Structure 1
Amino acid sequence: MNDNKMTGTELRATWGLGTVFSLRMLGMFMVLPVLTTYGMALQGASEALIGLAIGIYGLAQAVFQLPFGLISDRVGRKPLIVGGLLVFALGSVIAAMTDSIWGVILGRALQGSGAIAAAVMALLSDLTREQNRTKAMAFIGISFGVTFAIAMVLGPIITHALGLHALFWGIAILALMGIVLTLLVVPNADAHILNRESGIVKGSFAKVLGNPQLLKLNFGIFCLHALLMSSFVALPPMMVNAGLPAAEHWKVYLVTMLISFAAVVPFIIYAEVKRQMKRVFMGCITVLMLAEIVLWSAGLHLWTIFIGVQLFFLAFNVMEAILPSLISKEAPAGYKGTAMGIYSTGQFLGVAVGGSLGGWLFQLSGAGLVFLTGAGISLIWWLVSSRLREPPYVSSLRLTLSALAVKDGGLEQRLKSQPGVTEVVVVPEEQSAYVKIDTKRTNRIELERLVDAL
């Protein structure tokens, strides 16, 4: 038997949870390209309140994500996922039934309160073995990018054909489908596995927040999503004013996403294989700044807007791929899950600030001020990130230890002495060793052989 081949249970867990996560993300992203155009017909709507409706989702996510991740250790993963999806569906129904912008704001806040990402990743960790967990989590990451692209295309099509209310009803149905999949397709976990690679460790926030490299990266994901949300406040009405009807916007997003996804792969290979992460990272920030300047100067020139949008999403998609990798490389051994939790909180705070700030600026002085401010945010981000060091090109592993290995006081030093091992943390109460390795010099199999030899 090939021990690295996924079992039926692992495949069901990966596909099932990946689909649940994608359905929820689809519901979140489909609103972005249409709310600033179709939402203006709501009672009491203004550009500032539309921005608040976009951003309040992120604020609720930022508030509830880490606590819900910790609560899932007590109440169980599936109950929390189902409960979160029910809250998300309730928020969608409220948004679908209202004719007021304040009803949509309430609905969006409830949608964000159903924060299930940490519980999904924890359940995936419970249901997959160490040697297959990276593959399973990579599938979740890929599904995130694909879902974003699909949502950008489907949102305008559905809203133009059926209306904004129908879009929210559809989002509610997607959440209910996620509940059905969670209960009927996703396997039940026999036990909760405390895996510091995917879960949050209590009392570890100070250690992670005190890491200057991680702080700069968290500021980066904050800026990236602030730019995304503020752009989506200004971009759809800007294209309408330039002569492109809202019903045609999906064509722009489709072409843009296809080109950017095709172009992303060489940059990721160059960053990872050639070990040029910082160069690609700084280049992407520069391109984002350029995109904001192009959009600021575009006025009513439609093709200039298209160029700005293409530049933006090319850099955005590369950043979405390499930022989590940078967090993984910089996180201390045994604290990757906590680092990713704080990173996600920074991401959703960026959503909150970007949506709200973008709406206020758009109402104050139009799209030009939104993009000019975006260029300023990009410049500050570039200056902060210029002090980043080249990251260590390492991967994180969790090794399961036998009772005998746990009692071996020299195990940690023995692992550290292996070629390619840069950091080791042994946690006896979890019967685990968390190791950072250079995969060009060693791998999981070699280290497991060393442990098994005990």
Structure 2
Amino acid sequence: MHQADRMTSSEQRAASSLAAVFAFRMLGLFMVLPVLATYGGSLRGATPLLIGIAIGAYGLTQACLQIPFGMLSDRIGRKPVIIGGLLLFALGGLVAAQAETMQGVIVGRIIQGAGAIAAAVMALVADLTREQHRTKAMAMIGMSIGVSFAVAMVAGPVIAARAGLQGVFYSTSALALVGIMLVVWIVPTPQQALRHREAGMVRSAFMPSLRNKDLLRLNYGIAVLHAILMASFVAIPLALQEQAGLPREEHWWVYLSALLLSFFAMVPFIIYAERQRQIKRVVLGAIILLALVQPMMWLGMGSLPWLVAAIVLFFVGFNLLEATLPSLLSKIAPAGGKGTAMGVYSTSQFAGAALGGLIGGAVFGAWGLGGVFLCCALLAVSWWAIGVTMSEPPYVTSYRLPLSLALAGDETLPRRILAVPGVAEAMVVAEEAAAYLKVDTQVLDREALDRVVNPA
């Protein structure tokens, strides 16, 4: 392999350390999910509604501050925003840990959500890696999120069994402090903050992103997916404990089994979706699975084996959608608009989490566990009804190609790039001296493209 094709030691350190920062923060967020419903009931003022709000409260501030913090990092630097966000997250954990009322826990969760660092982390990855390795670095972060979710589902119940809900929240603060140490001492400092349309928000692309019907369907979908997740975690821990008779200290093995089995079950579907270009079929099938598994959980609450089987199927559907929706967004987003589309997508995700906790708590208080599962099924059906109208997406990949200043100013360049076989979209940004492309890699004439963007 040519030396230029390898990540440098600095790039490897940047990608791995930022993936760890992201993982520690998401681990702190997710650890609370499997234990808040079962351990939070002993707090003063706890009601089903307030427990649900506490589960999803972080999503409210996360949704509001995600995009502004990303833009702030363009002005004052990535590291100050990331460190500030992690400090807020640690503070929120301390507030929640010391709270004696459910209202205090909600305040702590809201503060935790205010540490919205995802956009700044993604922008820092773009600053610290070269074009040919950026996708690899982003994939490492994506994998770290998946791993952190799996670890959190096991670690939350284990820590709570030994140190209570307070110990879980103290652990989230400790993880945030570890993240800060990584940012200060391990993550490289970039020479300059780059404006990168594939990794950050661009104001001119914001309204087009909101007007794109396919992206709107996707944003609704990710909001529903995380609303279902949060509402489900109002009900699933209580169903395991109160209906199936499994002590809360033993819930960890259910989540571990479900996540491991679901991981192996979803891999063939991901491969099929990409290789056979059937991502729409796979997404709609996973949504149907989410809808069908909810009444299965409701009807099987009294049987532990039945309920565990339903939870496994739930995670198959959830993890499959969590893995395929970003790929779908990458295909749908216009050239040069992926970063903006991803910002809106992430905001929708966190807004859905906040709404899901609220809905789950309110429905549980009014209609019990069965009502929560039925509500989640209806949410999934609404998503399917919207998703079935989407077209099969173009199977294209996003490219960003650096250009010489002279070539970037050539007004005929976009037309000449579009004439290359396999190029579906092209956008030249003269001030960045870069071209943003959407290409079909199966038919792309790479030599012809290289002749256009690197003339002799």
Pick closer, same or farther for the CA change 1:446–1:264 going to 2, 3 Å.
farther
Kept in 1, the 8 Å contact 2:294–2:373? The answer is: yes
- Whether the aligned pair in 2 keeps the contact of 1:221 and 1:346 (CA below 8 Å) is yes
2:208 corresponds to 1:233: no
User: Which stretch has the larger CA shift, 186-195 or 398-407?
Assistant: 398-407
Which residue in the other structure is 2:256 paired with? 254
Does 2:357 match 1:350?
Answer: no
* Distance in 2 (alpha carbons) for counterparts of 1:226 and 1:13: 32
In structure 2, C-alpha distance between the alignment counterparts of 1:205 and 1:428, rounded to whole Å: 19
| Paired residue secondary structure (2:203) | coil
Residue 203 of structure 1, CA deviation: 3.2
Deviation at 1:299, TM superposition (A): 3.3
Q: Which residue of 2 aligns with 1:309?
A: 311
Give the deviation of 1:448 after TM superposition.
4.1
The reply to whether residue 215 of structure 1 matches residue 210 of structure 2 is no
Question: 2: distance between equivalents of 1:142 and 1:299?
Answer: 32
Q: Which residue of 2 aligns with 1:365?
A: 367
How many angstroms apart in 1 are the aligned matches of 2:123 and 2:229? 28
Aligned to 2:164: 163
CA deviation vs aligned residue, 1:401-453 (integer Å, no higher than 9, x gap): 10121132221111101111000001101111100000112277763453112
In structure 1, the residue matched to 2:102 is 101
Give, in angstroms, the shift of residue 204 of structure 1: 2.1
Q: Distance in 2 between matches of 1:312 and 1:134?
A: 29
CA distance in 1, matches of 2:146, 2:30: 11
Q: Does 2:184 match 1:183?
A: yes
Which residue does the alignment assign to 1:91?
92
Cα 1:387/1:79, change in 2 over 3 Å: same
- Rounded to whole Å, the distance in 2 between the matches of 1:188 and 1:327 is 30
Contact kept, 8 Å, 2:421 with 2:445, in 1: the verdict is no
Deviation string, structure 1 residues 357-386 (Cα, Å, up to 9, x no partner): 101111112110000011111111111111
C-alpha contact 1:68 1:115 (8 A) present in aligned 2: yes
RMSD after superposition: 1.1
Does the CA-based 8 Å contact 1:86-1:114 persist in structure 2?
Answer: yes
Deviation (angstroms), 1:259: 0.5
Q: In structure 1, what is the equivalent of residue 404 of structure 2? A: 402
* CA distance in 1 between partners of 2:175 and 2:452 (Å): 47
User: Partner residue of 1:133?
Assistant: 134
Cα 1:256–1:444 change in 2 (3 A) is farther
**Correspondence for 2:8:** 7
Displacement of 1:301: 1.9
Deviation digits for residues 339-398 of structure 1, max 9, x if unmatched? 000000110011001101101111112110000011111111111111010000001011
Q: State the match for 1:427 in structure 2.
A: 429
C-alpha distance after superposition, 1:231-266 (max 9, x if no partner): 000110111012100011000000101101111211
Q: Distance in 1 between matches of 2:291 and 2:144?
A: 27
Q: 1:399–1:448: 8 Å Cα contact kept in structure 2?
A: no
Contact 2:399 2:436 in 1 (8 A): yes
Residue type of the alignment partner of 1:102: Q
Runs of at least 5 residues in structure 2 that lack an aligned partner in the other structure: none
| In structure 1, C-alpha distance between the alignment counterparts of 2:445 and 2:180, rounded to whole Å | 38
Counterpart of 2:283 (choices 281, 284, 307) is 281
Question: 1:9-28 maps to which residues of 2 (within 5 A)?
Answer: 9-28=10-29
Please give the per-residue CA displacement for 1:127-159, whole angstroms capped at 9, x wherever unaligned: 000000000001111111111011001100010
**3-state SS of the aligned residue for 2:4?**
coil
How far does the alpha carbon of each residue in 1:154-176 deviate from its partner, in whole angstroms, 9 at most, with x for none? 10001001111111111101000
Structure 2 counterpart of 1:389, which letter?
A: S
CA distance in 1, matches of 2:17, 2:445: 29
Q: CA 1:52–1:443 in 2, change beyond 3 Å: closer, same or farther?
A: farther
Match of 1:268 in 2: 270
Q: Name the TM-score, length of structure 1 as normaliser.
A: 0.98
* Residue identity (%): 53
Alignment counterpart, residue 293 of structure 1, candidates 295, 311, 314: 295
The one-letter amino acid paired with 1:129 is R
1:193-212 alignment runs, 5 A limit: 193-212=194-213
Where does residue 392 of structure 2 map in the other structure?
Answer: 390
CA distance in 2, matches of 1:325, 1:264: 15
Distance 1:4 1:319 in 2: 32
TM-score, normalised via structure 2 length: 0.98
Amino acid aligned to 1:348: F
Q: What SS does structure 2 have at the residue aligned with 1:195?
A: coil
Q: Hey, what does 1:326 align to over in structure 2?
A: 328
**3-state DSSP class of the match of 1:251?**
helix
How many aligned residue pairs are there? 454
Judge conservation of contact 2:97–2:166 (CA < 8 Å) in 1.
yes
SS of 1:396's equivalent? strand
Residues 34 and 159, structure 1, Cα contact 8 Å, conserved in 2: yes
The amino acid across from 2:300 in the alignment is A
Q: 1:232 & 1:4 partners in 2: Cα distance?
A: 44
- Secondary structure at the aligned position of 2:44 is classed as coil
What do residues 273-306 of structure 1 show as CA deviations (whole Å, max 9, x unaligned)?
A: 1100011011000100111121122231222211
Q: Which runs of 5+ in 1 are unaligned?
A: none
Is 1:78 matched up with 2:79? yes
SS of corresponding position for 1:203 = helix
Conserved? CA contact 1:61–1:115, under 8 Å: yes
- 8 Å Cα contact 1:397/1:444 also seen in 2: no
